Amino acid sequence: MVESRFAQTRPPAVAGMFYPDDPRELKEQIDFFLNNLEDHPIVGEIHGLICPHAGYPFSGQVAASAYKHLLSRDYENVAVISPSHREYFEGASVLPVEAYETPLGPVPVNIDLCERLAEQADFINASWSGHREEHALEVQLPFLQRVLGEFKLIPVVMGDQNYDHAVDLGEALAKVLRHQNALVVASSDLSHYYPASEAERMDRRVADRINNYDYEGFWDDIETHRSEACGAGPIVAAMVAARKLGANKAEVLMYRHSGDVTGDRSGVVGYLAAALYHV
């Protein structure tokens, strides 16, 4: 549902907390992550990514393992789908403002595609709901700015996550992006605060489902608490959208958890990156 065009820009909410607020330091940190990876080329057209959204010291290296594959590619539009951590609302919100700002500069929003997306279903609203302070969407943008340069954003936040809405959102995104040069990014972390051995077991199940492009099985695992993902809805939506845009393969690129950084394995958070592409 479209309310109206919004003339404002969305300022950074977590710069200086989740990632550096100094542009030079931010560029250097992202470049370090990107350069700290072995070449692992994906042959084929990438339609979607799944990336974590913790503070860069914790999950930045994992996110970089996905974003590095965009360095030699070009996308005019990028839809980023995130969960809402700080605000509950029904459905999903897309924000047709002029730009999302980061320390690296403004990311222009494709207002027309945002409004077209909001017209696809009653549960998709043009709204600020979930966008004001949400980190999960924002932290993806500096990586995208660094690897792609110029692109237009379709910022989407899911409030209440349920399977039907996730599938319908994915189908709606595919419909509005079908004739665009576009990428879909799902923002999600995995299990939260389990001992490392248990977290690894739970997160391995997520990785297996993604590698098999089995978003139905993934959702069943979430529903039955065999796995966890705070962005389960965005993951399903991105997998549905990417498949309809042509992806026929999913590949997990890296998995780590917070214990790998802190050394504390008593209660960790899991991070995974994956690509959805056509071979």
Give tens-digit pLDDT for 72-102.
899 999 999 999 999 999 999 999 999 999 9
Residue 63: is its pLDDT beyond 90?
yes
Question: 249: domain range?
Answer: 12-278
Domain membership of residue 4 (yes or no) is no
Domain membership of residue 6 (yes or no) is no
Structure tokens at 270: 């899991």
Residue 1: is its pLDDT beyond 70?
no
Q: Which of 175, 178, 184 shows the shortest CA–CA distance to 236?
A: 184
Q: Which of 217, 234, 224 shows the shortest CA–CA distance to 272?
A: 234
Question: Up-side HSE of residue 163: CA atoms within 13 Å toward CB?
Answer: 9
Which residue type is seen at 104? L
Domain membership of residue 99 (yes or no) is yes
Domain membership of residue 140 (yes or no) is yes
Domain membership of residue 3 (yes or no) is no
pLDDT digits (tens, 9 = 90+) for 196-254: 999 999 999 999 999 999 999 999 999 999 999 999 999 999 999 999 999 999 999 99
Residue 22: is its pLDDT beyond 70?
yes
Residue 6: is its pLDDT beyond 70?
no
Q: What's the CATH code of the domain at 47?
A: 3.40.830.10
Helices (runs of H) and strands (runs of E) counted in the chain: 10, 12
Structure tokens at 55: 């503070």
Please state the domain count of the chain.
1
pLDDT reported for residue 159: 97
Domain membership of residue 7 (yes or no) is no
Domain membership of residue 203 (yes or no) is yes
Cα–Cα distance, 120 to 176 (Å, whole number): 9
Residue 2: is its pLDDT beyond 50?
no
Mean pLDDT of the chain: 96
pLDDT reported for residue 208: 98
Q: Which of 51, 53, 81 shows the shortest CA–CA distance to 68?
A: 51
Query: DSSP secondary-structure letter at 187?
Result: E
Stretch among 5-14, 43-52, 123-132 having the lowest mean pLDDT: 5-14
pLDDT reported for residue 7: 62
pTM over 0.85: yes
Domain membership of residue 1 (yes or no) is no
The pair phi, psi for residue 187, each rounded to 5°, is: -105, 120
pLDDT reported for residue 114: 97
